[in-house]
Structure 1
């Protein structure tokens, strides 16, 4: 059996855990909002029309910060349409996803939903078809206590206390020609800087996210970040990164190594940001908001006819059904985000319900967990305290896309106050189990509190409407902790978590 050795040293500190790393994303797209989180006629719906069974799953998932309302949707969004009496709200065309938006869910309702899930609202402003004045109006409506036209309008609409939204995205994917109102890096950087300056004039404590590249394959990747940051660096706190992955051409080996591309993405944005910092002689270090990341079978959706010439309300769009292999890759991507948590300050799994999501629903019926639900929920629950980057000694395998890739990837967390630790691991081998010995002596752990794994004899097994519990967590049998050495056998194509105390 192949073997690996891992050493966890408390001096290998990455960063204290900020819960925003476990964020998610709700966009007015497909059935994410309507027939997803919101279905007034459902047996579990509350007075606002939100499904309580979905709320329970979101709480179990452990999502912290929810980015809203988009996404491509935001670049044509009029926030005023979604406030006030529901019977007076207009129906609008959404050009991003070629559907109709009823505006029955807007800012006030969604803010109440966030409170029910225990999550923080992260708001995006429209810099596609609108600009500075609209962003300021939205901020006034959302955050000003009272005594102004828009804050008093919010109070009349039934929300007496301000929403106090701290984190704001300055548009979405403004480098993409698919984006309504997309701009060059120079034009967007200037607009983002002016918008950020105005927003911070209203509230200097806001945390602002400027748009980075929509992906590492964009022709302007790197240069876009440099140009945008040269204009906006002193006004913003984060630059966004977006990345989606899928298996192509039956190449499971390359797919399992997708996190190598995410690492390349992070390294490039960090180095570009630091270059601008040094060029501007700034004392501030920009962080990354990786506010869209997930598995997305985009090639298949582009080839389908789900986005067509019809104008429909909440059509079924982008409803990927995820496999065990997809969940293993997602767990590995989350490991990568944690290993870079010193520079990745916030992240949003895109999206939350029905649309490329860990949670699925059926109108009038059930809600269930996709395979990708499990690594996210367990990591969010167990990761506490500080992130530690392990030293990993393991063999490699060759991939067609990324070259040599380690067979095992891992990250650890340690909470000194409670004495609890957690180790998260993936085995990328398609055929062989790996025996891993982990030196945890410095953590002072003496007991295995929990050991779980996601794997299956069929790496393409999925949870579906017809079989909602086909895939789930399994006990990771055979884990042993003796004299500071944790020994565990990782099944092929698996994601695992071990909690120690």
Structure 2
């Protein structure tokens, strides 16, 4: 990061050993913060705990958050940014359990590094929120929880799920759908590890996407990715606060999100799902009962979801109360076949008209591309809320729907 503290045209281009590419350093700390401010996002910085040092991490904290009287705060101010950035979210290390990472290490070694980096960074700013490098495997998390229970509050997990075998597209799609549902059990299992040591351990999902890259299978550019994202979000909401942060991968030209090809920018379906569902932030989950068809998770990995294979609902629902509105998220995960749903509300007085958001396509493999940039786009319409009886809705296969009901205005 210190290489970026010069004008962009003077920054060195260096090899990036983690990705085996060259890094032109076009996006440094200042550019990252400016981008976050422009889009209204909270900055999160993952520091180098592989071959970096605690002192270098503390210097970065001071550069971001220190006043102009501090050494690195003064450097920031001299670069034209006198006000501290006040970055609060800091992740210590990225996937250091993986041998593809520079400086990967054992679980015991990471626990030692976490304490060293935590203490150095906290000395630079007492108000930081730390996220430790966690894993879906309990044996990685165990030494960290055991040795750092006094300073541990949040663990990162990366939900990059793929089907590596020559499976059918339907098999891959249903595997993704099943895992997005049973991840709730994994979140609760990790939380329980912390609870046994007296920690109210939170989970930060700092990377998430389906990791199939083949064009013939569900991948981050397809409609299936939007349903995978929405399913993981529903499972996160159902943990009632165990999952405190959720970031999909990624922003542009890597994973789902925006794509830029030949100067044309277009959105993948998951981008629209993220834009719609982020509006639920700050809401509260509402209790509900549901019945409907279930399916088996085709591909079962014990480390991800426990020893016993489970079934998952093809229709997923998650009602969220936010202010004067009730939002009901509905997923039809089935790769084919429309499903009729009936929603019966207990309590509440709602306006005569509701709002309906739907994201659907010709199939779960539907995607946008350069010559068809709007093949999958949201549809929005208003609908009549019946004064008596259920709300009925027909859900297309592989579709995301969000119903929004507004409270009826109080009669004077």
Whether these two folds match at TM > 0.5 is yes
The match for 1:287 is 202
Paired residues of 1:383 and 1:413 also in contact (CA < 8 A): no
CA RMSD for the aligned pairs? 2.4
The match for 2:168 is 250
Paired residues of 1:427 and 1:495 also in contact (CA < 8 A): yes
Structure 1, residues 26-56: CA drift from partner, whole Å, max 9, x if none? xxxxxxxxxxxxxxxxxxxxxxxxxxxxxxx
The match for 1:451 is 356
Structure 1, residues 150-171: CA drift from partner, whole Å, max 9, x if none? 1111111111111100010001
> Matches of 1:259 and 1:285 in 2, distance apart?
28
**SS of the counterpart of 2:148?**
helix
Paired residues of 2:224 and 2:365 also in contact (CA < 8 A): yes
Q: How does 1:341-352 map to 2 (within 5 A)?
A: 341-352=240-251
1:156 pairs with 78, 81, 103, which one?
78
The match for 1:407 is 314
2:285 pairs with 387, 397, 419, which one?
387
Paired residues of 1:430 and 1:493 also in contact (CA < 8 A): yes
1:489 pairs with 379, 383, 394, which one?
394
What is the Cα deviation at residue 424 of structure 1? 0.5
The match for 2:212 is 297
**SS of the counterpart of 1:258?**
helix
Structure 1, residues 208-259: CA drift from partner, whole Å, max 9, x if none? 000011xx4xxxx111111122222321321001012346611525623535
1:339 pairs with 228, 238, 241, which one?
238
The match for 1:371 is 269
* Correspondence 1:100 to 2:5: no
Structure 1, residues 72-121: CA drift from partner, whole Å, max 9, x if none? xxxxxxx1011223233222110111111111220012211211111111
Runs of 5+ unmatched residues, structure 2: 301-309, 407-412
Paired residues of 1:441 and 1:483 also in contact (CA < 8 A): no
Change in CA separation of 1:209 and 1:197 when aligned onto 2, cut-off 3 Å: same
The match for 2:179 is 261
The match for 1:432 is 337
Change in CA separation of 1:351 and 1:205 when aligned onto 2, cut-off 3 Å: same
Change in CA separation of 1:271 and 1:278 when aligned onto 2, cut-off 3 Å: same
> Matches of 1:321 and 1:211 in 2, distance apart?
24
> Matches of 1:191 and 1:422 in 2, distance apart?
43
**SS of the counterpart of 2:2?**
helix
1:465 pairs with 354, 363, 370, which one?
370
1:165 pairs with 82, 87, 104, which one?
87
**SS of the counterpart of 1:93?**
strand
TM-score, normalization: structure 2?
0.88
Paired residues of 2:363 and 2:397 also in contact (CA < 8 A): no
Change in CA separation of 1:259 and 1:276 when aligned onto 2, cut-off 3 Å: same
- List 4+ stretches of structure 1 deviating above 4 A: 262-266, 475-480
Q: Which has the higher contact order (CA 8 A, sep 6+)?
A: 1
The match for 1:47 is none
Report how many residues are paired.
392
Structure 1, residues 104-139: CA drift from partner, whole Å, max 9, x if none? 220012211211111111111100111211111111
> Matches of 2:330 and 2:381 in 1, distance apart?
12
The match for 1:175 is 97
